Amino acid sequence: MPLGYPTPVNGGELLIPALAKTIEPVRRAVCSDLSAAASELMTTGGDQRIVLNPETGLNQYMVAPRPSTMTAYSSSTANDISGPAFSEVTRRLAALAPDLQLSPGAYGDALDGPRQRIRSTWALPATVDIAFAGSGTDLEYVGLVIANRGEAGILNILLGSDEVGSGCAHSARGNFFADCTALGVRTVPGAPVDPAKKDSFVVKDIPIRGAGGFPIPSEDILLSVCVAIEFALLNNEVPLVHVVHGSKTGLILPSFAHIDALRRRFGNKVCFVVDACQARIDRDSIVGYLSRGATVFLTGSKFMGGPPFSGFALIPEKIAQRSSGLFEGFEKIFNRAECPEGWKNRDMLPHGSNLGLLLRLEASIYELELFNGLSAADVRRTLDHFDDAINCLTKRIGASRLAPNMRDEAHEVRQHPLEMRTLVTIDLGQSALAMNLEQSANSIAASRESFGGQVSALRPVRLGQPVKYIPNTNGDYCGNLRIGLSMPQMVEFAAMDTHSLKARLQSDMQAIAARIEMFVGARHALPARIAGTV
């Protein structure tokens, strides 16, 4: 079957007509422009979030899988693809499927490449299993497989649901989260993937921020998780604990020491998965989690800088052997080659292929390999100048950074793990700007608009979506900005001399500040304190 079309499966209606409208024109043009085919294919094989609006040519995150010249610090949400990665994807498409067709067997062989490259980049042993998924949200289903113990239910202990993917509230419960899956099967959001298990998956949400938006101490998180685990075991449920490594605002909870405490107390009765979907994580941390028996979730579309969406799970040796296998209904979500060999019930999955997902993975892993070649000194130099530029920005607009750890002390900022320093959340609600969540979202949307011949400081800028983290007294949430670097940006900045790098970051932050001031000025007169310049 030609690629771009999902493999037919039982129990679901395929979106063949909709996909045909996308794929057929590309197939006709393939001989003249393979790059156009690559761009179009990367909008297939996922859920509706990657589909482009025909009027704007962008998806719902206002990006597209083609290179862009827009100033962007939106890696906390979604990226365009970089020029070099796009060239690599086009080259890979020419090698793998020049006629836009890829057999299921060839798809399985092609996925061996990303598996080997991921292990090589992070120096992981071959015994680490790797499962692929259409998005980070789909990875929650992998977590359910890890915790599957037959008839026992699963208590999914989620930390900070507001700071993880919005669809995870559905997938963590074993429900569909979109109106179609990566295989093109039409579904109903909120409906159970396996109707026989509709009451078997329960989510317990544990907050990770307290009053004023300050992170709750890891010790307190530990106590709350312990109570939830005890409750699960009393109810014959398997506790599945979500560790957060890089929430939407950069939190890491609980600590390794507290994970060890849980393991000492409960042993194999508790399962762990790590939400590192932002991919702001280093090799030592990945190995630390794997050595503790925790499965690590990552995506290629955030810090890695690939186009939306792709996901992969790193699964420690023997963890899958304890599982009772995949659940019924997963044949609507995964192709067989995307799950590691040896998984129980793997043969129930369709022997299909997903060229769109493969190309998005190729782009992301390409960026990962380039970033991995940077020295620690190069990375630290960029982040130090990034910190300085952010400080000038916050001073100009009269706002402050959201505390990334328990102590909001300026001298500690540069002691954070390097990858965590690539994402900054700026509090606009508890500042002179007094923005709520909707207002900050509107300001971010306005920052993307082009104003033609106006001053160069008002050039379009794309930032990450705001996130819920501090409730207002009126029941709303405080507004915020998320400014994130991506791996391709880090590679680009590492090639600059120090003077050029500093000037570039300062100029970009000036453009962001000018946009915020423009939006605020449209609401009311600017406060005197934000009338200066960076």
SS3 assignment for 95-140:
HHCCCCCCCHHHHHHHHHHHHHHHHHHCCCCCCCEEEEECCCCCHH
Asked if residue 433 and residue 313 are part of one domain, the reply reads no
Establish whether the linkage from the previous residue to 254 is cis, with ω within 30° of 0.
yes
Has residue 391 been placed in a domain?
yes
Asked if residue 493 and residue 390 are part of one domain, the reply reads yes
Asked if residue 319 and residue 331 are part of one domain, the reply reads yes
Residue 142 has pLDDT above 80, yes or no: yes
* pLDDT band at residue 84 under the 50/70/90 scheme: very high
Asked if residue 480 and residue 347 are part of one domain, the reply reads no
Residue 186 has pLDDT above 50, yes or no: yes
Asked if residue 364 and residue 380 are part of one domain, the reply reads no
pLDDT, tens digit, 9 for 90 and up, residues 457-494: 467 889 988 888 777 777 788 888 899 999 999 999 99
pLDDT of residue 166: 66
pLDDT of residue 324: 95
Asked if residue 411 and residue 343 are part of one domain, the reply reads no
Residue 161 has pLDDT above 80, yes or no: no
Cα–Cα distance, 133 to 84 (Å, whole number): 24
Directed axis angle between helix 376-397 and helix 487-494, to 10°? 100
Tokens representing 209 are: 């921020």
Asked if residue 348 and residue 466 are part of one domain, the reply reads no
Q: 391 phi and psi, to 5 degrees?
A: -60, -40
Residue 17 has pLDDT above 50, yes or no: no
Cα–Cα distance, 33 to 343 (Å, whole number): 40
Q: Which is more confidently placed, 192 or 438?
A: 192
End residue of a domain, out of 322, 350, 370? 370
What pTM was computed for the model? 0.89
Cα–Cα distance, 360 to 307 (Å, whole number): 6
Question: For a pLDDT cut of 90, what percent of the chain falls above it?
Answer: 67
Rounded mean pLDDT, 60-79: 93
End residue of a domain, out of 341, 370, 399? 370
**Of the candidate ranges 86-90, 245-249, 354-358, the one whose mean pLDDT is the lowest:** 245-249
Has residue 422 been placed in a domain?
yes
pLDDT of residue 478: 84
Domain CATH for 362: 3.40.640.10
Asked if residue 293 and residue 269 are part of one domain, the reply reads yes
Residue 412 has pLDDT above 60, yes or no: no
User: In terms of residue numbers, what domain contains 424?
Assistant: 374-530
Q: 175 phi and psi, to 5 degrees?
A: -110, 160
Task: Note whether 457 and 445 are within 8 A (CB).
Answer: no
pLDDT of residue 460: 84
Asked if residue 233 and residue 149 are part of one domain, the reply reads yes
Cα–Cα distance, 435 to 424 (Å, whole number): 17
Which amino acid, one-letter code, is at 493?
A: F
Bridge partners of 462? 72
- Residue 131's CB: how many other CB atoms inside 10 A? 24
Has residue 93 been placed in a domain?
no
Rounded mean pLDDT, 278-286: 95
* pLDDT band at residue 13 under the 50/70/90 scheme: very low
Residue 104 has pLDDT above 60, yes or no: yes
Has residue 344 been placed in a domain?
yes
Has residue 72 been placed in a domain?
no
Q: DSSP for 39-76?
A: HHHTTSSS-GGGPPPTTTS--TTS--SS---SEEEBTT
pLDDT, tens digit, 9 for 90 and up, residues 418-449: 788 999 999 888 877 878 888 888 877 777 76
* pLDDT band at residue 4 under the 50/70/90 scheme: very low
End residue of a domain, out of 324, 350, 370? 370
Question: For a pLDDT cut of 70, what percent of the chain falls above it?
Answer: 85
Residue 375 has pLDDT above 80, yes or no: yes
Question: What is the DSSP-derived secondary structure letter of residue 445?
Answer: H
Asked if residue 453 and residue 364 are part of one domain, the reply reads no
* pLDDT band at residue 531 under the 50/70/90 scheme: very low
Rounded to the nearest integer, the mean pLDDT of the chain is 86
Asked if residue 400 and residue 329 are part of one domain, the reply reads no
Coil/strand/helix, residue 477: strand
Q: How many domains does the chain have?
A: 2
Tokens representing 228 are: 């939830």
Establish whether the linkage from the previous residue to 309 is cis, with ω within 30° of 0.
yes
Q: Which is more confidently placed, 355 or 457?
A: 355
Asked if residue 422 and residue 285 are part of one domain, the reply reads no
Residue 32 has pLDDT above 60, yes or no: no
- Residue 227: CB partners within 8 Å, gap ≥ 6? none
pLDDT of residue 400: 87
> What radius of gyration do the chain's Cα atoms show?
23
